Amino acid sequence: MFVRRFFLLLCLLHPPLFAAETFCYDGPVDSVNQQPVVVAGQRIYGQHTARVAGWVLQQLPQATFINLPWQRCLAQVRTGRVTGLLSIGWTAERAKEYQFPERNGAPDPSQALYDVPYLIFVRKDSKVQWDGQRFLGLQYGLITLKGYVAEQRLRDLNALSPLELDINQGVDLLLNRRIDGYVIPPGTTLQQFRQHPAAAQVRQLEQPLFSMPLYLAFSPKYCQENPERCQTVWRHLAAQRQAYEAARQSAASGQ
């Protein structure tokens, strides 16, 4: 009994050196009908997310991954309740609240996870046009996922729908002419939209709203306490991404 109490006291006085890290990501709108990828016994939604989670586990084997709405993910990491975000685009505002891999005060593109385009979808009979600088033919505005960089970009272009609409019903809203279109990156949510019975009545504009690299971002507090570990994880992710891309190119060329 004395030995057990002594051991418990040691655990209280000296917590484990490597506490388990937790990373947040936003999964599909409707995860019930989506098939997760099992990574080291954890259910992860989205192929890209699962791949990155596997790479993270190679450096942080005790890490866990939670699927929350995007704005909750942002808040959890911002307050330090969660270690980091599995994939997030850099902005100057976000750099004040999250720790990105940087070089000379700017995000380091060599340590990005992958580039993601923000695709624009409109009705097949829509007159809406996008030339990369401005929209033509808008009547109602477009919607996107709350908290995404695309939301601010649409606002800056005066193209964001003024209505408080939920993108979960994006196809229905579009066909009912309550919005001109919706903006969404590739992934599980886009797959759900394409499975909508009326998806054939929607078309994708040729040019995306924009494209940007995504990074794994940590809570600033975590990197203050573990600066070398953050750098090690970022370097490892960059190396894994390069190896993955090289393997894909080799497979595509038939080598």
- Domain assignments of the chain as residue spans, ordered by start: 19-113+212-252, 117-211
What's the pLDDT at 137? 96
Quick one: DSSP state of residue 86? Answer: E
Name residue 61's amino acid: P
Which residue would you say has higher pLDDT here, 130 or 1? 130
The reply to whether domains 19-113+212-252 and 117-211 share a CATH topology is yes
Q: Is 236 exposed, middle or buried (0-12, 13-18, 19+ CB in 10 A)?
A: middle
What's the pLDDT at 17? 34
Q: What is the mean pLDDT of the chain?
A: 87
Question: Region 160-167: what's the mean pLDDT?
Answer: 78
With bands split at pLDDT 50, 70 and 90, how would you rate the model's confidence at 39? very high
39: β partners:
42
For tokens 């038939």, name the residue: 254
Pairing type for strands 22-25 and 64-67 reads parallel
With bands split at pLDDT 50, 70 and 90, how would you rate the model's confidence at 220? very high
Q: Into which CATH architecture does domain 19-113+212-252 fall? A: 3-Layer(aba) Sandwich (3.40)
Which residue would you say has higher pLDDT here, 33 or 71? 71
With bands split at pLDDT 50, 70 and 90, how would you rate the model's confidence at 23? very high
Residue 34, pLDDT above cutoff 80: no
Rounded to whole angstroms, the Cα distance separating 199 from 32 reads: 20
With bands split at pLDDT 50, 70 and 90, how would you rate the model's confidence at 212? very high
Enumerate residues 6+ apart whose C-beta is below 8 A from 90: 100, 107, 212, 213, 215
Nearest to 84 by CA among 217, 229, 249, 220: 217
What's the pLDDT at 33? 60
**Phi, psi (rounded to 5 degrees) for 120:** -110, 130
Residue 149, pLDDT above cutoff 60: yes
Q: Are 116 and 185 in contact (CB under 8 A)?
A: yes
What's the pLDDT at 228? 97
Residue 62, pLDDT above cutoff 70: yes
> To which H or E segment does residue 119 belong?
strand 114-123
Question: Region 115-133: what's the mean pLDDT?
Answer: 95
Question: Domain 117-211: which topology?
Answer: D-Maltodextrin-Binding Protein; domain 2 (3.40.190)
Triad 172, 174, 180: Cα angle to 5° = 165
Rounded to whole angstroms, the Cα distance separating 196 from 112 reads: 32
What's the pLDDT at 12? 39
Rounded to whole angstroms, the Cα distance separating 201 from 79 reads: 42
Nearest to 97 by CA among 73, 74, 121: 74
